Structure 1
Amino acid sequence: MNEPTVIAILLCTYNGSAYLREQLDSFIAQTHERWVIYASDDGSTDETLDILRQYQQRLGDQLVILDGPRQGFARNFLSLIQNPAVKGDYFAFSDQDDIWLEDKLARSLAALRQHSLDGPALYCSRTDLVDAQGRHLGFSPYFHKPPSFENALVQSLAGANTMLINACTRQLLAATRPGAHIVAHDWLTYLVVSGYQGVIVYDAQPTLLYRQHHTNLIGCDSSLRSRLTRLTCALRGRFSEWNDMNLALMAMYKPSLPQRNRRILEQFEVARRSPLLKRLRLLGRTGVYRQTLAGNLSLLAAAVLNKL
């Protein structure tokens, strides 16, 4: 008889005492009961560690507390991915202030198990946006276009807090070189899995309540004002900086990528440093795209203004 599937929940904390109990309670309420929380704290000065220790007394071996590298949220998550003491069959990223729906792990696992998982695999979903008091605000955007490497090169698909990955994906991410600059671990995960033509399941049904509040490191504001702000940042060079970081990370994977995706990656790299007409021609050959019309227009504007 096969052993039950164990999911390692990778929880990164930093001064998250305000909402941490609700997050932890939502883990305990999961219908999939075989999980272990690995909580990496990045030097909290509030009651976060006290709360974790209280829950550790209750959960025992199901909650492991670790010291984070104190180099930002992305490096903290990567430290968990690279830690050999973190054990599991699958791995779920978690924020410190959300509320998981009770079937989050079960639904994520069932969705991936519908596919042959010989290589890397990723499940992700939309989110139900709530305010600091848990009141419904709306939903994260629904993306209609298929997940792909062409999309991943210019856009992250979903929040890490919705993601479940298999052991193969974990192994690939763990190979990231020490000291690497990471835009976001969700984007890196999407790039790596799509780059190796792995299984990607994007679920239109939310799996968690994603809390929007003033201390969020990354929010999900889809208002017109927020979109214009992001466009302005992109045209000022922020998008170009992100691409620099992502391409530097992908350099170590490039030799082992499937030939098709290796060619797309190389064309994208050449396009970014080419004169305007050649840049636009090569960009067209790559087939890169974003999920929305507004996103593709901003991508075109960045290309024209040499801000790729």
Structure 2
Amino acid sequence: MKKSKVCIMLSTYNGAKYIDEQIESLLAQSGVEVWINIRDDGSSDRTVQKVSEYAMSFPDKIRVIEGENMGVIGSFFELMRQTEPVYDFYAFCDQDDVWKADKLSRAVAELQLRQSDLPLMYCSSTQMVDQYLNNLNVWPKLPPNPLSVYNALVENCCVGCTMVINSITFERVTATIPSDQSQVIMHDWWIYLFVSAFGEVVFDEEPTILYRQHQGNVLGGSTEDWLVKWKNRWHRFANGKNHFILSKQASLFLQLYGEQLTAEQHSDIQLFIKQLERLWIQRAIYAFKMPFYRHNYLDNLVLKLIYVLKKV
């Protein structure tokens, strides 16, 4: 049986400490043919030297792009732009994790069970580990509610470094990458939003990667207890860091894809944006009956609260 061709898109930035373990785990993937496109986002350590050595050892499998610093969102979108649309599936990868050997074959098998002419995306739980790869906990858990656009507009429950997308998703998202990415919260959230609106999202509760937690993480899962978690959330909110990010991303999504949405989707997203301009009592009435939801009960209440406060 012919193996599926998978392109792994890896963005690096000052990741020399752990990059060898990550690349070795990518090369050890079983059951699929793997190609690795690496874009370095302006590293100042030995990252470029290390990945270039791997590219010299595997010239038919690994390509390195040295770029200027754009940040994580811009770097992954640029990787998509510079990746040829010739593969069966595409995967996103961080620089400091370790993938289980069957990570890609498991994802491909799940996606091949679905309707192939739809945008498809696979994501999974992760085995969170410390910097020495000692197990911490499994995160995130299987979401209790549907992975629909009504969740994706207000919450991202898909970890980017576990995501695998089919060729239709890759080509359609790459063709419409926003020119102004300041309103995109994260590249993986944007893709989850796209696929949830137009296709199907598959969540695998079996952890497929060792998700390393350390001080150098750009973003990552949380091993904090609930009190610390909510204290940090409140601090970010009080400092205005998360104000308006959901409504801005929703407006951009509606601008780019509005004509492709169903009438119901278009109407619901438009109402989510427009009701923010109403009086607070009207916002409150809408917030407690709106179709958009987060999976966790308390997170959902917070969503309604910040909507009423006009900070969503």
Alignment TM class, shorter chain as reference: over 0.9
What is the alpha-carbon distance in structure 2 between the residues aligned to residue 84 and residue 139 of structure 1?
Answer: 31
Question: How many matched pairs?
Answer: 306
Matches within 5 A, 1:192-211: 192-196=194-198, 198-211=199-212
What is the alpha-carbon distance in structure 1 between the residues aligned to residue 148 and residue 195 of structure 2?
Answer: 9
Q: Could you tell me how far 1:210 is from its partner in structure 2?
A: 0.4
What is the alpha-carbon distance in structure 1 between the residues aligned to residue 167 and residue 58 of structure 2?
Answer: 24
Q: Could you tell me how far 1:173 is from its partner in structure 2?
A: 1.8
Judged with a 3 Å threshold, the aligned counterparts in structure 2 of structure 1 residues 271 and 218 are, in CA distance, closer, same or farther, namely: same
Judged with a 3 Å threshold, the aligned counterparts in structure 2 of structure 1 residues 238 and 195 are, in CA distance, closer, same or farther, namely: farther
Judged with a 3 Å threshold, the aligned counterparts in structure 2 of structure 1 residues 77 and 304 are, in CA distance, closer, same or farther, namely: same
Q: What is the match of residue 310 of structure 2?
A: 306
Query: Contact conserved, 1:31 with 1:102, CA < 8 A, in 2?
Result: yes
Q: Could you tell me how far 1:231 is from its partner in structure 2?
A: 3.8
Query: Contact conserved, 2:4 with 2:32, CA < 8 A, in 1?
Result: no
**Structure 1 stretch 225-234 or stretch 211-220: which is displaced more?**
225-234
Confirm or deny that 1:238 pairs with 2:241. yes
What is the alpha-carbon distance in structure 2 between the residues aligned to residue 65 and residue 245 of structure 1?
Answer: 33
Q: What is the match of residue 75 of structure 1?
A: 74
Identity %: 31
Q: Could you tell me how far 1:29 is from its partner in structure 2?
A: 1.3
What is the alpha-carbon distance in structure 2 between the residues aligned to residue 236 and residue 299 of structure 1?
Answer: 17
Query: Contact conserved, 1:193 with 1:200, CA < 8 A, in 2?
Result: yes
**Structure 1 stretch 266-275 or stretch 80-89: which is displaced more?**
80-89
Judged with a 3 Å threshold, the aligned counterparts in structure 2 of structure 1 residues 237 and 273 are, in CA distance, closer, same or farther, namely: farther
Q: What amino acid is aligned across from residue 185 of structure 1 in structure 2?
A: H
Q: What is the match of residue 274 of structure 1?
A: 278
Confirm or deny that 1:99 pairs with 2:101. no
Query: Contact conserved, 1:128 with 1:206, CA < 8 A, in 2?
Result: yes
**Structure 1 stretch 102-111 or stretch 137-146: which is displaced more?**
137-146
Q: Could you tell me how far 1:285 is from its partner in structure 2?
A: 4.7
What is the alpha-carbon distance in structure 1 between the residues aligned to residue 238 and residue 152 of structure 2?
Answer: 19
Query: Contact conserved, 1:31 with 1:103, CA < 8 A, in 2?
Result: yes
Per-residue CA deviation, residues 165-212 of structure 1 (Å, 9 max, x unaligned), is 11111122211232322211111011111122x111011111100000
What is the alpha-carbon distance in structure 2 between the residues aligned to residue 245 and residue 293 of structure 1?
Answer: 24
Q: Could you tell me how far 1:16 is from its partner in structure 2?
A: 0.3
Q: What amino acid is aligned across from residue 136 of structure 1 in structure 2?
A: N
**Structure 1 stretch 83-92 or stretch 294-303: which is displaced more?**
83-92
Q: Which runs of 5+ in 1 are unaligned?
A: none
What is the alpha-carbon distance in structure 2 between the residues aligned to residue 121 and residue 235 of structure 1?
Answer: 37
Q: What is the match of residue 37 of structure 1?
A: 36
TM-score scaled to structure 1, two decimals? 0.94
Query: Contact conserved, 2:98 with 2:211, CA < 8 A, in 1?
Result: yes
Query: Contact conserved, 1:267 with 1:286, CA < 8 A, in 2?
Result: no
Q: What amino acid is aligned across from residue 228 of structure 1 in structure 2?
A: K
Q: Which runs of 5+ in 2 are unaligned?
A: none
Per-residue CA deviation, residues 197-242 of structure 1 (Å, 9 max, x unaligned), is x111011111100000001010211522023312442365433332
What is the alpha-carbon distance in structure 1 between the residues aligned to residue 249 and residue 33 of structure 2?
Answer: 34
What is the SS of the residue equivalent to 2:243?
helix
Query: Contact conserved, 1:236 with 1:307, CA < 8 A, in 2?
Result: no
What is the alpha-carbon distance in structure 2 between the residues aligned to residue 152 and residue 128 of structure 1?
Answer: 23
Query: Contact conserved, 2:124 with 2:205, CA < 8 A, in 1?
Result: yes
**Structure 1 stretch 236-245 or stretch 150-159: which is displaced more?**
236-245
Query: Contact conserved, 1:162 with 1:208, CA < 8 A, in 2?
Result: yes
Residue of structure 2 aligned with 1:252, choices 231, 256, 273 = 256
Q: Could you tell me how far 1:69 is from its partner in structure 2?
A: 4.4
What is the alpha-carbon distance in structure 2 between the residues aligned to residue 195 and residue 122 of structure 1?
Answer: 12
Q: What amino acid is aligned across from residue 72 of structure 2 in structure 1?
A: F
What is the alpha-carbon distance in structure 1 between the residues aligned to residue 294 and residue 18 of structure 2?
Answer: 33
